[in-house]
Amino acid sequence: MQNAVVNGNGRSYVVALPDNDAAASIADRLGGPERVLASHVSGRPLLVGTLSGNRLISGSADEACVSVVGQCAVTQEEMNRYAARASAPTDFSRVQLQCSGSFLTFGSYQGNVYASGQALETRRLWWCSIGENTVISDRADVLAELADLAFDETAIALRLLPAQPHPIDQIGLWSGVQPLPGDQALLVGQDGEARRITWWNMPSEDVDLQNGAVAFRDALEKAVTSRTAGNAEVVCDLSGGLDSTPICYFAAANSGSGIVARTLFHPDPGGREDLAWAKKALTVMPNVREHLVKSTDEFVDFYEGVDEVNVVLDEPTQAITAGPRIMALLSEDAQKNAAIHLNGLGGDHILRGVAGWEHTLARSHPLLAWRRSRSEHIPAGTSVMSTLRQLSDRRSYRAWLADGIAKKAKSLRPPGVNDWSSPLALPEWLSADARETVVKAVRSLLSGLDPLHPTVAGHSDIYFARDAAKLVRGTGQLGNPFGVAYEAPLLDDRVVEAAFRVRRTERDTPLEWKPLMKSAMRGILPKEYLMRTSKVGGGAQSVRGYLRHHDVLVGLVEESGLLDGGLIDRTAFLNSTRPDRWEPPSPEIHNVVNLGKFILNQRRTAPVAA
Sequence ranges of the domains in the chain: 4-198, 209-300+313-351+461-537, 360-456, 541-604
**Which pLDDT band holds residue 300 (cuts at 50, 70, 90)?**
very high
- Per the CB < 8 A criterion, the answer to whether 120 and 493 are in contact is yes
CA-based nearest residue to 469, from 347, 312, 305, 329:
347
Burial of 374 (0-12, 13-18, 19+ CB in 10 A): middle
**Alpha-carbon distances of 425 from 56, 117, 164, 402, 607, rounded to whole Å:** 42, 30, 9, 12, 36
Residues 82 and 103: their CA atoms lie apart, in Å, by: 16
DSSP 430: B
How far is 326 from 316, CA to CA, in rounded Å? 16
pLDDT of residue 408: 86
Compute how many other C-beta atoms are within 10 angstroms of the C-beta atom of residue 377: 20
- The pLDDT of 76-88, averaged and rounded, is 98
Q: In what order do the strands lie in the sheet with 13-16?
A: 36-39, 45-50, 13-16, 133-137, 125-130, 178-180
pLDDT for the residue 538? 66
Q: Compute the distance between CA of residue 4 and CA of residue 149 in angstroms, rounded to an integer.
A: 33
**Whether 336 contacts 161, CB under 8 Å:** no
pLDDT-derived band at 511 (thresholds 50, 70, 90) equals confident
Computed over every residue of the chain, the mean pLDDT equals 94
**Run of H or E including 290:** strand 288-295
Specify whether the CB–CB gap between 205 and 308 falls below 8 A. Answer: no
What is the pTM (predicted TM-score) of this model? Answer: 0.96
DSSP assignment of 143-208: HHHHHT--B-HHHHHHHTSS---TTGGG--SBTT-EEE-TTEEEEE-TTS-EEEEE---PPP--B-
Q: Give how far Cα 227 sits from Cα of 232, 283, 328, 339, 485, Å.
A: 9, 24, 22, 10, 9
* CATH 3.60.20.10 is the classification of domain 4-198: yes
Residue 66, classed as helix, strand or coil, is: strand
Please give the backbone phi and psi of residue 514, each rounded to the nearest 5 degrees, phi first. Answer: 50, 60
Q: Does residue 138 surpass a pLDDT of 70?
A: yes
Phi-psi region of 514 (alpha: psi -120 to 50; beta: other; left: phi over 0): left
Q: How far is CA 568 from the centre of its chain?
A: 27
Characterize the bridge pairing of strands 101-109 and 112-116: antiparallel
pLDDT at 536: 65
The pLDDT tens digits of the residues spanning 248-294 come to 999 999 988 899 999 998 887 767 888 999 999 999 999 999 999 99
Region 453-482: mean pLDDT is 97
Q: Quick check: 8 pLDDT over 80?
A: no
Beta strand segments in 43-100, E = 45-50, 54-60, 64-72
Rounded to an integer, the average pLDDT of 149-177 is 97
Residue 5: predicted pLDDT: 31
What is the DSSP code (8-state) at residue 509?
B
pLDDT in tens, 179-199: 999 999 999 999 999 999 999
The answer, yes or no, to whether residue 2 has pLDDT greater than 50, is no
User: Which of 278-282, 334-338, 410-414, 428-432 bottoms out in mean pLDDT, i.e. has the lowest?
Assistant: 410-414
Q: Is the pLDDT of residue 537 over 70?
A: no
Asked whether residue 115 carries a pLDDT value surpassing 70, the answer given is: yes
pLDDT at 340: 96
pLDDT level of residue 53 (50, 70, 90 thresholds): confident
pLDDT at residue number 9:
41
What topology does CATH give the domain 209-300+313-351+461-537? Rossmann fold (3.40.50)
Residue of higher predicted confidence among 581 and 526? 526
